[in-house]
Amino acid sequence: MPYNKIMKQARKRLFISKKTGARERFKLIKLALENECNTLVFSLNDPFFTSKNRNQKYIKLAVTYALNIEAGGRDLSLLVPRSMFLFNRDLFRMVHGRRKASHHFCATNPKTTNLIAERAYKLFDRAMQYTTAPRIFHFLPDEKHEDTWCQCPACRAFRPVEQYIISVNTAADVLAKFDRDARIMYIDFDLEPEAARVKPRGNLVISGKD
């Protein structure tokens, strides 16, 4: 189904950082409601999805006002956890011949692709029951490091934005198995559509164009 047909109403979003405490969240949401916010976005490993305690005031507030719940943000590192660096260096980004744990990963390594699929499955599975349909997820590149991607011999053939789309496409395929109508928002930083050699999946939507 086309994306614009499934969105009945424009979503005005409040992204809530994982670092924001429960009391602060309550205040932020109240303020956002006054500004016609209708959607909350939590990181895929936020306590909102991981905690069993659903009695917190900010959660009740979201339920009372029937706010849309979306998941994600700058969550790419959840797909390839940096804690794996020590024993799985080839999953990570190469720069000047050396692997680095920081910022993104080696996008063309098939082992990375398998890991992304596996991790995306777990993260979507957990968030699915708490996100509201039509479901929207966000996978944005690391802030101020949009262009910081892998330079290994295989990845070098792809521009940073293409490596980014290769990675998000893998998550998009997993998401489609859970919910055909769900979408992932991504950024097409400095991408000329006709120049892109990596085509975004049909369930990817450019952030800010919904």
From 14-22, 28-36, 99-107, 137-145, give the range in contact with Zn ion by CB under 5 A. Answer: 99-107
Cα–Cα separations (whole angstroms), residue 136 to 124, 142, 156, 159, 186: 11, 19, 31, 26, 11
Residue with smaller CB distance to Zn ion, 155 or 182:
155
| Least Cβ distance, residue 160 to Zn ion (angstroms) | 11
Q: At closest approach, how far in Å is the CB of 151 from Zn ion?
A: 7
Instruction: Give min distance, CB of 149 to Zn ion, in A.
Output: 8
Strands 183-186 and 136-139 turn out to be parallel
Q: Which two tokens stand for residue 84?
A: 């794996």
Over the window 100 to 119, marking each residue x when it contacts Zn ion by CB under 5 A and - when it does not, the resulting string is ------x-------------
| DSSP string of 9-39, one letter each residue | S---EEEE-TTS-HHHHHHHHHHHHHTT--E
Minimum CB–partner distance for residue 94 and Zn ion (Å): 6
Considering the complex, state which of residue 38 and residue 151 has its C-beta at the smaller distance from Zn ion. Answer: 151
Q: How far is the CB of 142 from Zn ion (least distance, A)?
A: 16
Counting contacts by CB under 5 A, is residue 80 touching Zn ion?
Answer: no
Q: Are 185 and 164 in contact (CB under 8 A)?
A: no
Burial of 144 (0-12, 13-18, 19+ CB in 10 A): exposed
Fill in the amino acid letter for 145.
Answer: H
Of residues 128 through 187, those in contact with Zn ion by CB under 5 A are: 150, 152, 155
Q: Nearest distance from residue 150's CB to Zn ion, in Å? A: 3
Query: What angle in degrees, to the nearest 10, is found between the helix axes of 160-178 and 110-128?
Result: 40
Compare residues 80 and 155 and give the one whose CB is closer to Zn ion: 155
Q: 13 or 100: whose CB is closer to Zn ion?
A: 100
Q: Which is nearer to Zn ion, 106 or 168 (CB)?
A: 106
Residue 175 and residue 203 in contact, taking contact as beta carbons nearer than 8 Å: yes
Residues that bind Zn ion (CB under 5 A): 106, 150, 152, 155
